[in-house]
Chains A and B, each alone.
Chain A
Amino acid sequence: AQTVTQSQPEMSVQEAETVTLSCTYDTSESDYYLFWYKQPPSRQMILVIRQEAYKQQNATENRFSVNFQKAAKSFSLKISDSQLGDAAMYFCAYQGGSEKLVFGKGTKLTVNP
């Protein structure tokens, strides 16, 4: 079975600085998708960024980018120019052939003014 591990329960960053959240996963599949979701206190799950495993190029969405290392099964999220509104729980997720998402336990990000 696939597993997703987020080794940082909590992280903090100064406003305007850069922070990287770690995620590793385990799978025997070759085709899959990886996601980062943001969950603010409102509880809404917001898709931040998505990466297809067959694409070598790292996905980027404005201030959010990933470092996808397929051989190492690593998928980290970099947030540049951090803003107060970035404070939230961040979940890494895997989706393979079964279509269901497998989530990590999350990283709580605090942004300090």
Chain B
Amino acid sequence: NAGVMQNPRHLVRRRGQEARLRCSPMKGHSHVYWYRQLPEEGLKFMVYLQKENIIDESGMPKERFSAEFPKEGPSILRIQQVVRGDSAAYFCASSPSYGYTFGSGTRLTVV
């Protein structure tokens, strides 16, 4: 049973481009969470999704950020018109209930 798969592992984007981060949860897990880790910080919650539904997006910036978890396929975190401040590690986690399994994260660098 593969763990939570995130790709790409590293992503470099120029300012103004779009970044698309993918997350495939563990088999049988229907809850997906996205977290962001800035340098020297702990992880900060962004959004919680179930299949085709956004359950809690209280941690998402109001503009440029969106997330989806379609009926088929991976969950996608999309950042439009990236800025330097978006540079961070983005983690996805999946869970059937309490207790998460995290992916290895995507490190986004905006140049």
A contacts, CB < 8 Å to B = 4, 33, 35, 37, 42-45, 47, 50, 91, 93, 95, 98-106
Q: Evaluate contact between A101 and B98: CB separation under 8 angstroms.
A: no
Task: Give the residues from 58 to 111 in chain B that come closer than 8 angstroms, CB to CB, to chain A.
Answer: 59, 89, 91, 93, 95, 98-102, 104-105, 107
Residue in A37, A50, A99, A105 with the greatest tally of chain B CB atoms within 10 Å? A99
B102 pairs with A44, CB closer than 8 A: yes
Complex CA gap A106/B105 in Å reads 17
For the complex, count residues of B whose C-beta is within 8 A of A: 24
Across the interface, which residues of B come within 8 angstroms of A98, CB to CB?
56
Neighbouring B residues of A42 by C-beta, 8 Å = 104
CB nearest to B31 among chain A residues: A99
Assess whether A100 is in contact with B98, with CB atoms less than 8 Å apart: no
Contact, CB under 8 Å: A47 / B100: yes
Q: List chain B positions with a Cβ less than 8 A from chain A.
A: 31, 33, 35, 40-45, 48, 56, 59, 89, 91, 93, 95, 98-102, 104-105, 107
The residue in chain B whose Cβ has the minimal distance to the Cβ of A92 is B42
Residue of A nearest to B35 (CB): A101
Across the A-B interface, the 10 shortest Cβ-Cβ residue pairs:
A103-B42, A45-B102, A100-B45, A103-B43, A105-B42, A44-B104, A43-B105, A33-B98, A91-B42, A106-B42
The residues of B that contact A44 with a CB separation of less than 8 Å are: 102, 104-105
The A interface, classified by DSSP as helix, strand, loop or mixed, is strand
Contacts of A104 in B (CB 8 A): 42
Q: Are A95 and B98 CB-contacts (below 8 A) given A101-B45, A102-B45?
A: yes
Cβ of A35: which chain B residues have Cβ within 8 Å of it? 99
A101 to B102 Cα, complex, angstroms: 12
B43 to chain A, nearest CB (A): 5
Q: How far, in whole Å, are A105 and B41 apart by their CA atoms in the complex?
A: 5
